[in-house]
Amino acid sequence: MRHNQLGDRTTWGSLIAATRVVLLATASAVTVTVTALAPTALWAQTDYPNRPVTLIVPYPPGGANDAIGRLIGQKLGEALGQPVIVDNKPGAGTTIGAAAAAKAAPDGYTIVLGSLASHAVSPHLIAKTGYDALQDFAPIGLIGVAPTVATVNKESSFTTLASLVEAAKAKPGTVNYGSAGNGSPPHLAGELFAQTSGASLTHIPYKGGNAHTMDLMGGRLQVIFDTTTGAMPLLKGDKLRALAVASPTRLPELPNVPTFAESGYPGFEVNAWYALYAPAKTPATIVNRLSADLGKVIRSPDVIEKLRGLAVRPNYGSAQELAAFTASEYAKYGKIIKTANIKAD
């Protein structure tokens, strides 16, 4: 509309009223057209992307986390018209890879697969991560979530969540839950459930890997609060049994497993999650382009099917939604860690 106002003060003022109406209408139409095409024009002007984009995955090659990164990288590359190259940078609770992304040039050619660990947990456990989870990144979009599922040995006497809580309250210290280490998602999920239910649960931390899962299968642990990403293969293989899942509704893959809410704990919600971030100060036009293309990727039937195959519930969230979500998760887990005085191994 600024263009029209300039015209009113100059050329249009010397024309007859009828001509001015016609020209103003034409100018308005042009303005609307230009405005509607503005995002496309801006993207064209930046010529982004004109070379491959690097996606830092803060996990080692292989496994579900890496598979998620590679799936999104491949499909996002197809949408962008340039290859997205996965660069695995594991270690230090995902902070090595996240720090590398935070320090990269803010030009849209380096992005990172962020997660519960990198943006909500590790910053509270590790003194020097090399980045600020809320200030050093430009959120692009949420990919999906992997709900927590309470799993027990398939021969366990616990057939419901209520029976497990009852036993833990009747004989404090006798119900043990395992995790891959202090501050890991299963540890935090177990701690939050203990706080929520009032059950006396004893945490047994392991030194990474799947030793805690092997002990659950062997009957040396009573329960693990794992993510569906980690637990689903064993549940489908009839190696473990699920008591409850922390999702708003029952999962199609586990139709007979009640939610925590159905089991009497509506306030319990712990999910692993995955998202894309760019370095802070990445131009908004580039972030918007990445976010828009990520949304198309996440909504595609092929990606939905493959994410579900990895036990991840596709759940695209815009850049603005991811910013609010990250802040909420950061505060939530900071409180849990502080209340329980959890320290990293």
Residue 46 confidence (pLDDT): 61
The percentage of residues in the chain with a pLDDT greater than 70, rounded to a whole number, is 87
Query: For the chain, where are the alpha helices, taking DSSP H only?
Result: 2-9, 17-46, 63-80, 95-102, 116, 122-125, 161-170, 185-197, 211-217, 228-236, 284-299, 301-309, 319-340
Distance of alpha carbon 122 from the chain centroid: 14
Per-residue pLDDT of the chain in tens (345 residues, 90 and over written 9): 333 333 333 333 333 333 333 333 333 433 333 344 445 444 444 699 999 999 999 999 988 899 999 999 999 999 999 999 999 999 998 999 999 999 999 999 999 999 999 999 999 999 899 999 999 999 999 999 999 999 999 999 999 999 999 999 999 989 999 998 888 889 999 999 999 999 999 999 998 778 999 999 999 999 999 999 989 999 999 999 999 999 999 999 899 999 999 999 998 888 999 999 999 999 999 999 999 999 999 999 999 999 999 999 999 999 999 999 999 999 999 999 998 898 887
pLDDT digits (tens, 9 = 90+) for 39-87: 544 444 469 999 999 999 999 998 889 999 999 999 999 999 999 999 9
Local structure of residue 168 (DSSP, 8 states): H
Local structure of residue 130 (DSSP, 8 states): S
Distance (Å, rounded) from C-alpha 8 to C-alpha 142? 46
Give the 3-state secondary structure of residue 279. Answer: strand
- Angle (CA) 292-293-296 rounded to 5° is 95
Question: Tokens in use for 101?
Answer: 């992304």
Q: Under 8 Å CB-to-CB from 156, ≥6 apart: which residues?
A: 219, 222, 241
Residue 225 confidence (pLDDT): 97
Contact 142, 321 (CB under 8 A): yes
Give the 3-state secondary structure of residue 48. Answer: coil
Contact 165, 193 (CB under 8 A): no
CB atoms within 10 A of CB 235: 20
Closest CA to 183 of 122, 273, 270, 129: 122
Q: What is the pTM of this model?
A: 0.81
Q: Under 8 Å CB-to-CB from 339, ≥6 apart: which residues?
A: 195
Distance (Å, rounded) from C-alpha 151 to C-alpha 178? 11
